[in-house]
Structure 1
Amino acid sequence: AAVTLEVKSTPAGVLLRADEAQHSCWFGAWLAQNPAATNLGLMALERATSVAEALSLAPAVGIPHQNVVIGDEQGHIGWTIYGRIPEDTGPTRARGGAPWTTVADHPRIVDPPLGRIWTANARVASDDHQLRLIGGDVAALGAQYDLGARAGQIRDDLLALQGNITPADMLRIQLDDRAVFLARWRTLLLGLLDEQALHDHPRRAQLRRLIEGWNARASVDSVGYRLVRAYHERTRQAVWDMLLAGLGLEAEQGAAPPAQFEGPLWQLVTAQPLHLLAKSYPGWPQFLRAQVDATIAELLASCPELAHCTWGAHNLVQIRHPLSRVLPWLASFLDMPTLELPGDHDMPRVQDGVIFSASERFAVSPGHEEQGYLHLPGGQSGHPLSPYYRAGFMQWARGEPLPFLPGPAEHTLILSPN
């Protein structure tokens, strides 16, 4: 049956929520609804011959905002955002009417002193004005950028490269699954699970032994990585919910804390201020150990034993055809194989289960195209029975380089006029 959706709009935007008790309303406006925000200006990039030319196009390119990194034959490198940005940095910026940024003030970085540029969905600019242009009134809260852990690991990997850098060096970085981000959480856990905390708690003792022996990687066979990661996720959510409860705010069902909460979270679990702890706990150690027990219970709900809780069993890639959801008996023909994969969200080898993964990997050095590689999680053909439907998927999953250049032609399609 037809369902009527009532939408209320005002000059301030679409009404999203009204709180009569607080006499407050929340309105939403979308920049894409402004006709001037969309155009074909991106096509001018085809004629750009230098970093300076490519960056100068950015303010007038009307596409959804994208990080862009450019290099040219003179050795210059630069970063900017392609997509129109209003100069208004307040809550009304998406409603239109404000002028757009120009070449003079559009966010950009050119030839940084380190000689490296990295993005990884994280904040790139450090200039306060540029951050306000990008993030508007939520710039101080992280502007919905991803946490910088993956970007930081990529940065360190790039800075470690010396001499002539090749595409093979880039692939090694893209396949880096070292658990740099969670290392401090492992140290925190080992400190919490001291002799007193382990007394009469065999499950805690087993968890401690398993995380002591981790291989410091998000590998498919790593039990320690999964345990530390699960504890981090559980503690992050518990602290977030505790803070909301203390403020008298109701947590949204299924809503995870924002990515930038990691910084305040680490301050809380290390400084352990008592005035921010729920009254039901005598101290932060008791709260944090309670999260250990909750983590163990959650893991045992999906694993028969903690020792069998490998990261690969949790980190499955499932690339499914839209039709296989309604025609499950065709799934074996339509879907890519379900595999356990290494990697995680906050590291260069980005692979966060079914949520987030590398849509492609490639590197090519102009003039040395034969050294380049290209990874895609599937082939060029849309026909499930074609040998090219799944071509390249297993190499993408295993991190095995595939040539960037095409091989010999195997088939030819001739279009003849009638």
Structure 2
Amino acid sequence: MMIWLLRIIKLTAILVPLLCILVYFTLNSSKPTLNAELATSIPELTTVERDKNGIATFSSTSRESIAYALGFVHAEERFFQMDLLRKNSAGELSELFGTLAVDFDSKIRVHQFRKRATRYLKDLPQDHRQILEQYTKGVNAGLANLTVKPFEYLILNTAPTDWKAADSLLVLYSMYIDLQHQFGEREQILGKIKNHFGSDIYHFLNPAGSIWDASIDDTRFPESPIPTQGFKSQSTANNSVDTAPYYVLSNNHHESLPGSNSWVVSGELSKTKSAMLANDMHLGIRVPNIWYRAGFRYPINDRQIAIDGVTLPGTPAMVVGSNRQIAWGFTNSYGDWSDLIALNTTDNGKSYKTPSGNKPIIKEQEIIKVKGGADKVITISSSQWGPIIGYDSNGNPLSMRWTAHDPEGMNFNLLNLETALSTEQGINIAHTMAIPAQNIVIADNQGQIAWTIAGPLPVKESSLDSPDWETPQDWSQGDYRWLGYFSSEEKPTVMNPSSNRIWTGNSRVVGNDMYKKIGNGGYALGARSLQIKQGLFALDQFSEQDFLNIQNDNRALFLTRWQALINDELLTPDFVSENQLEALKLHIENWQQRASIDSVGYTIVRAFRMEVRQSMFDILLAPLKNTKTSKVDIHPIRHQIETPMWAILSSKPEHISPTGFANWNDFLEQALLRTIKKLKDKHGSLDNANWGTINTAKVQHPLSKAVPALSWLLDMPSMPAAGDSYMPRVQGPDFGSSERFVVSPGHEESAILHMPSGQSGHPLSPYYGNGHKNWIQGTSSPLLPGSTEYTLTLTPKERD
């Protein structure tokens, strides 16, 4: 027996290293090509120079060749990421992940983005189609050039499929899904609230404005008064720490909206005398990062284009960048880009009423291909306004009217920004762009600045005196309708304001007639924008480092009043002594007023606010739990209910005092005690609950989430991170600034750019993860690449 055991041990000792060697060489064979001269079908010779961090500069004599080379490199570095993006919007993830993805695919297929992408591709201008076609050829050439298919497909035991030009449109549709409510979730919950509680409570919980308003035109919108009736106090055991909530207001402890910060100052305020721009786009953070850093060098007419910034793998465009004349950046606009129509059905639900008579509900079938399983056939129902995406609280089908469904919602005019010479030209181009509607800010080397909406703006018309576009409505009588889209000349625009400053942070940007065109689709609370505004008015002249300092601003101005509530109102000597809260008192007093990694007080104040919000709305919205729908998700309105919540806490109205507690003060004291208990249960003591422990960046590869054993190979090192939701430095464990960009056009040598996780998606890349530490720490790193370490040359094949 012992002999056989020894033989097994010896055999294992031989096989394990051999297996490791096999895995290494297999992975190594799927690495991207860094140094080579390759004959390809590229139109003209193109070089790809990379520095030690993998930052790529593409040089050629034509933009089409740049597109080919970019596609080649994207495929070798990031094909799995690109594949996920196209399959995400097309509802085809089941082809990779089998039955695990069927429910998601079945839900997203209702939008039929694959059909739309194929159809709208034909509408693109010829020069853009040519760029897409060359990009597509480059992608497939890069994929074919790999000795072994990308390692993700080895793990999944499947093969990648060729790229199609329409797939690049699907990548943009994935951005629609990420940046806008793809099922009208906000309208659905607001509709439930209005239908159940009435208009007064609806307006109270959906306020037009707040003290946090920070528009660039200084317009202010009022808060709504506390209703005198309508809320019913609910008996509750919520003073028990074990009570399960009715609703989950946040999917995790971080609650930011996909969005971003961006601002510009004119040449009057910059040390370079050119205008200056900052942009940090807030998205989910993963390995590899969503963006790929690149520079393009090519001639057009008598001009040499030199542009640097970030590209989106799966598309040929420079998404954010500077071309020496202009620079641009984006933040998500939460204007009103979709509407839900409550269909007035007839004929046992087979038809619905319209202003021009009854029409049949259209049904189509689609097939979901499932890896390792049988195909699934689903039925998609739609009206003249759009697909049916669900049902309201009265059981009426909800049809969705969304800019993403229309041809006006998709083009690649972003490509035209690369050659713009001035802010005015950039704005004119932005007005023609069809992307998920964005706030775009532009700065130029002449000192000019501007803001507008890049993306389709629907023209909405109603015959009602006070139409409500924020909840589902019956359009069968013609009271609500879309009349097409605003022209370029009609789009809201601000150029060269007298303040010499423009800022956006996903909150409302403008008021008056411009706001009426944009509407309200669920803006972020203006706390972050207000803090940016204050930072911009704190100085009269700015350098690039000054802008980075604002991007890294983690002061907790938003939570200051919550800290005062705990310290000044709750932590009375008697309450502290009775509950032995002396240590808590010290942490609250010394909270640093910022989301710094060593602050325990910040953790407590933040957790207390979340506990109060959860408990209060468990009570106030409890009647919704008994409506016809089984799930009530108020997560889409989590930001806006800060305003009514604070109004209640400030006045403590007796007519909606929570039963189960002696008074509002008792409610708050019990919430604080629950907060402390939860923190101690999780961390052992309050001293261990510093913000860095809780806000540890865990930047993971999609496969390591499914196979944790791969984490050591694929994921970035876990690091404590400063920052949070309601401050310029937005940071969560897996959410935050997907890049930080600062540039003054014409002075790119002093510009700043860093991003998480680095350039490559391959763990054996020599620069895998390079730059991640700068991103975590918020330290300056250059936009322009360093000296060339690797050179790839793509040459045209000889033609017969």
Structure 2 regions of 5+ residues with no counterpart?
1-372, 462-468
The DSSP-based 3-state class of the residue aligned with 2:536 is helix
**1:29 counterpart residue number:** 401
**2:571 counterpart residue number:** 193
2:552 corresponds to 1:175: yes
**2:503 counterpart residue number:** 118
Q: Which of 666, 672, 680 is 1:300 aligned to?
A: 680
**2:740 counterpart residue number:** 361
Amino acid of the structure 1 residue aligned with 2:643 = G
Q: CA RMSD in A?
A: 2.5
- Any conservation in 1 of the 2:683–2:689 contact (CA below 8 Å)? yes
C-alpha distance in 1 between matches for 2:516 and 2:625: 29
Which structure is higher in strand share?
2
**1:75 counterpart residue number:** 447
C-alpha distance in 2 between matches for 1:236 and 1:49: 49
C-alpha distance in 1 between matches for 2:796 and 2:623: 73
Q: Which of 625, 636, 644 is 1:264 aligned to?
A: 644
Q: Which of 36, 46, 65 is 2:437 aligned to?
A: 65
**How far apart are 1:402 and its partner, in Å?**
1.1
Amino acid of the structure 2 residue aligned with 1:361 = R
Task: Return closer, same or farther for 1:195/1:300 CA change in 2, 3 Å cut-off.
Answer: same
**1:231 counterpart residue number:** 608
The DSSP-based 3-state class of the residue aligned with 1:87 is strand
C-alpha distance in 1 between matches for 2:654 and 2:388: 39
- Any conservation in 2 of the 1:363–1:372 contact (CA below 8 Å)? yes
**How far apart are 1:294 and its partner, in Å?**
1.8
- Any conservation in 2 of the 1:313–1:340 contact (CA below 8 Å)? yes
Task: Return closer, same or farther for 1:19/1:54 CA change in 2, 3 Å cut-off.
Answer: closer
**1:50 counterpart residue number:** 422
C-alpha distance in 2 between matches for 1:414 and 1:23: 61
The DSSP-based 3-state class of the residue aligned with 1:88 is strand
**1:99 counterpart residue number:** 484
Task: Return closer, same or farther for 1:83/1:254 CA change in 2, 3 Å cut-off.
Answer: closer
Q: Which of 699, 720, 732 is 1:352 aligned to?
A: 732
C-alpha distance in 2 between matches for 1:18 and 1:350: 35
C-alpha distance in 1 between matches for 2:527 and 2:392: 37
TM-score between both structures, scaled by the size of structure 2: 0.48
2:604 corresponds to 1:220: no
2:370 corresponds to 1:14: no
Task: Return closer, same or farther for 1:105/1:275 CA change in 2, 3 Å cut-off.
Answer: farther
C-alpha distance in 2 between matches for 1:412 and 1:284: 68
Task: Return closer, same or farther for 1:412/1:18 CA change in 2, 3 Å cut-off.
Answer: closer
- Name which of structure 1's ranges 82-91 and 218-227 shifts more when overlaid on structure 2: 82-91
**How far apart are 1:246 and its partner, in Å?**
5.8
Deviations 1:92-138 (A, max 9, x none): 79x996221123431222222221111122221122x3323323xxx
2:648 corresponds to 1:275: no
**How far apart are 1:325 and its partner, in Å?**
2.5
- Name which of structure 1's ranges 181-190 and 52-61 shifts more when overlaid on structure 2: 52-61
**How far apart are 1:387 and its partner, in Å?**
2.2
- Any conservation in 2 of the 1:67–1:82 contact (CA below 8 Å)? yes
Which structure is higher in RCO with an 8 Å CA cutoff and minimum separation 6?
2
**How far apart are 1:188 and its partner, in Å?**
0.6
2:528 corresponds to 1:147: no
C-alpha distance in 2 between matches for 1:104 and 1:316: 46
- Name which of structure 1's ranges 336-345 and 365-374 shifts more when overlaid on structure 2: 365-374
Amino acid of the structure 2 residue aligned with 1:341 = A
C-alpha distance in 2 between matches for 1:49 and 1:249: 59
- Any conservation in 2 of the 1:58–1:106 contact (CA below 8 Å)? no
C-alpha distance in 2 between matches for 1:193 and 1:256: 33
The ranges of structure 1 where at least 4 consecutive aligned residues each deviate by more than 6 angstroms after the TM superposition are 247-251
- Any conservation in 2 of the 1:361–1:376 contact (CA below 8 Å)? yes
C-alpha distance in 1 between matches for 2:392 and 2:407: 32
C-alpha distance in 1 between matches for 2:483 and 2:490: 14
Q: How many residues align?
A: 406
Deviations 1:355-414 (A, max 9, x none): x21111121223332222211112222321122111101111112211222111111112
C-alpha distance in 2 between matches for 1:62 and 1:414: 34
Q: Which of 724, 743, 749 is 1:370 aligned to?
A: 749
C-alpha distance in 1 between matches for 2:728 and 2:395: 46
C-alpha distance in 1 between matches for 2:430 and 2:493: 9
C-alpha distance in 2 between matches for 1:281 and 1:12: 48
Amino acid of the structure 2 residue aligned with 1:79 = W
Q: Which of 772, 779, 787 is 1:400 aligned to?
A: 779
Question: Matches of residues 304-383 of structure 1 in structure 2 within 5 Å?
Answer: 304-354=684-734, 356-383=735-762
Amino acid of the structure 2 residue aligned with 1:272 = K
Q: Which of 389, 392, 404 is 2:768 aligned to?
A: 389
Task: Return closer, same or farther for 1:308/1:254 CA change in 2, 3 Å cut-off.
Answer: farther
Deviations 1:220-253 (A, max 9, x none): 1110000000001111222222221267766726
- Name which of structure 1's ranges 190-199 and 174-183 shifts more when overlaid on structure 2: 190-199
The DSSP-based 3-state class of the residue aligned with 2:782 is coil
Amino acid of the structure 1 residue aligned with 2:715 = D
Deviations 1:150-185 (A, max 9, x none): 11111111111223x111111111111111111110
The DSSP-based 3-state class of the residue aligned with 1:80 is strand
The DSSP-based 3-state class of the residue aligned with 1:117 is strand
From the CA coordinates, give the structure whose radius of gyration is larger.
2
**How far apart are 1:263 and its partner, in Å?**
1.6
